Chain A
Amino acid sequence: MAATARVADGPALTPDGSAPTPGVSGPVTKRGPWRTGLLLASPAIAVLALLFIAPLFMLVYNSFRTQSGDPTLHNYTRFLGDSFYRDVLWHTLWIGALTTLGCLVVGYPFAVYLRGRSPRARNYLSLVLLSPLLISMVTRAYGWLVLLGPKGPIADGFHALGQDAPKMLYNDTAVVIGMVHVMLAYMVLPLMGSLDPIDPALTPAAKGLGASGWTCFWRITVPLSLPGMLAGSLIVFSLTVSSFVTPAILGGPTVKLMPYFVYTEATSNLNWPYAAAIGFVLIVVTTILTAVYARLLRGRGDKEVFA
């Protein structure tokens, strides 16, 4: 209670009414605001330090140990030396790339469509768009199990057309469909963010100068929405390669992805150091890839996006 009571004193009531600029460390003379700030932030700092930083350090530390605790590089040499695990890494990145592409193909026209709608319609559509994120992952994946299953409505559709239904479950197709479903919002929201500010007069202007609809689209809309596309792709890719639940349920044991092995090594094989090493490799590889991607495209995109 003491903490909350202090909230409004100090800089909150400076005579000129200006707040201390966040992030800028100007000449701070009073010690009061410092103490209040630290006091207020300390529970959150404790949570981050004890439950975020410390576990990650533990993970990295353990990944360089044997199960009995001796220092070793074996976990990494084992991972990199085994073509099976290298394939798992490639496959994970491949699924991430496919999902990103899928989100772009479905999400871009959707975002363009949203652009011209009334605020009301946009609100409802955004809610639909975000609904998968707010609904239990298990329920969601279960719905896909039913839909994509050999006796599901999609298979029925194929049968009605007199065709054999392709196998849609426990393979890459199922995983990519399930992942696009979850990730679509992460693609569309940044796209909306970069499509909305485009001056609506540009397209009629270009058309007036004789450009066709396609030319307008490729030379005005696409380049101006590039920052959103890049930001969305970055988020979708990095979230996809590290997701576990959807691939585990829809892909089963046949679709071998990195997070699945982090889980099985830790819980079935009880090889924590190796699980830690796989997890760390996943973080390092995705960090490098996304950093390179951001760097390569920085010149073309919005800087803020990658800040």
Chain B
Amino acid sequence: MTTATETQTATATATSKAAGKPIATGAGGRARRLLGAVFAALVGLFLLAPVLVTIASSLTTTSYVTFPPKGLTLHWYAELLNRPEFLDSFLLSIGVAAGAAVVSTALGLAAGLAIHRYPFPGKSVLDRLFSSAFAVPTIVLGIGLLQWYAQLGMASSPLTLLLAHLVLTVPYTVRLVLAGLAGLDRSAELAAAGLGAKAPQVFWHVTLPAVRGPLIAGAFFALITSFDDLTIALFVVTTDMQTLPVRIFNYLQYNYDPTVTAVGTVMVLFAAVAVVIIERVVGVAHLFGADPES
């Protein structure tokens, strides 16, 4: 497309000079493209800067956070190991996140199939609820859950935290499963059934593989959403049960040292692995309802 336009422009420039208005000069086009590239690079830098800075300053030898880092050391990572509270929080966060991933994948698959294939009363309400769950402010949901759990007499535990996170993650897995099912050619299922496959076999060998990508992506997305959640966790945790983001948040109120940047870097690495997997399986943009390749 670009080359075609270029040649067009070149000839048009030559011919239209006499007509008065050049369509676009070659130099002007190139300058504009360069300008665009510079702008995009700046936006990229803006988007990545906070993370790059966090990673870099976790390596500083100074006892305060500074960028660019002075010297290189892994001291602050070693320091992390001397802080059992960070390790406890990490284990709690990971456990809850893994639970949220497993449960929301199963729920998302079941609900996605139900919405896509079966008529049942209240179906459109359910569909609509799943889309509106995105829109409710998490801070409001957090305080609502706090009061609701108190009303039910449920003390905060990893289970209550996991349940709270399902509200954030299930809408995404449902949406992904629905997108996967929409792209599935039903004739494959019919063919399998026609060739004598039993319903469970059709499901296992035809339907499930078709939504495997969305399911894996949904699971990893649920994992990082739960792992990184701070707003809801703030309301559900107690002083002796703090997730990693809550621990860092509270630590930040009184401290400003490179230990936190080290934890932050560990969390970034963790998220990066999940992102790479999602990107490989379905594409990250899919997750947010947009496909840049379409």
Contacts and interface: CB of A to CB of B under 8 A. Distances in A.
A222 B122 CA distance: 40
A62 B248 CA distance: 31
A144 B50 contact: yes
B230 A245 contact: yes
B147 A129 contact: no
A99 to B, nearest CB: 14
Interface in A280-297: 280, 282-283
A48 B293 contact: no
Contacts of A5: 199-200, 203
Contacts of A51: 145, 148, 163-164, 166-167
B117 interface: yes
B271 A279 contact: no
Given A5-B200, A45-B126, A12 B117 contact: yes
Given A139-B267, A142-B260, 4 more contacts: A28-B119, A113-B40, A272-B143, A279-B137
Interface in B251-294: 252, 256, 260-261, 264-265, 267-268, 271, 274-275, 279, 283-285, 287-290, 292-294
A137 B230 contact: yes
Interface string B123-147: 1101101100101111111011111
B193 A13 contact: yes
Interface string A1-20: 00111111111110001011
Interface in B49-95: 49-54, 57, 65-68
Contact of A125 (B44, B50, B118): B44
Contact of A181 (B46, B111, B119, B245): B46
A279 B143 contact: yes
16 contacts: A7-B117, A13-B202, A22-B123, A36-B118, A40-B110, A44-B108, A55-B147, A59-B144, A126-B292, A143-B52, A153-B53, A204-B8, A204-B23, A207-B23, A242-B138, A263-B143
Category for how many chain A residues contact B: 35 or more
A135 B37 CA distance: 25
Contact of B118 (A11, A106, A116, A147): A11
A123 interface: yes
A147 B49 contact: yes
A263 B110 contact: no
Given A47-B170, A51-B163, A143-B53, A192 B292 contact: yes
B124 to A, nearest CB: 5
A267 B235 contact: yes
A48 B54 contact: no
A69 to B, nearest CB: 11
Contact of A138 (B44, B127, B230): B230
Question: Would you call the interface of chain A mostly helix, strand, loop, or mixed?
Answer: helix
A11 B69 CA distance: 63
A208 interface: yes
Contacts of A110: 39-40, 43
Tell which of A20, A22, A35, A113 has the most Cβ of chain B within 10 Å.
Answer: A22
B124 A23 contact: yes
A22 B116 contact: yes
B179 interface: no
A184 interface: yes
Given A47-B170, A139-B54, A249 B47 contact: no
Interface in A26-47: 26, 28, 33-41, 43-45, 47
A6 B166 contact: no
Contacts of A26: 119
B155 interface: no
A40 B118 contact: yes
B54 A44 contact: no
B114 A54 contact: no
A152 B256 CA distance: 13
B235 A48 contact: no
A205 to B, nearest CB: 11
A140 B51 contact: yes
Contacts of B170: 44, 47-48
B184 to A, nearest CB: 10
A262 B136 contact: no
A184 to B, nearest CB: 7
Given A22-B116, A48-B126, A143-B49, A130 B284 contact: yes
A152 B54 CA distance: 12
Nearest to A203: B5
Nearest to B39: A109
Given A44-B107, A127-B279, A59 B147 contact: yes
Contact of A10 (B44, B118, B135, B144): B118
B148 A54 contact: yes
A298 interface: no
Given A193-B290, A262-B140, A282-B140, A134 B119 contact: no
A41 B110 contact: yes
A91 to B, nearest CB: 16
A52 B67 contact: no
The 10 closest A-B pairs by CB, nearest first: A143-B50, A37-B118, A242-B137, A55-B144, A37-B120, A44-B111, A139-B264, A40-B114, A41-B114, A189-B290
Contacts of B203: 4-5, 7-8
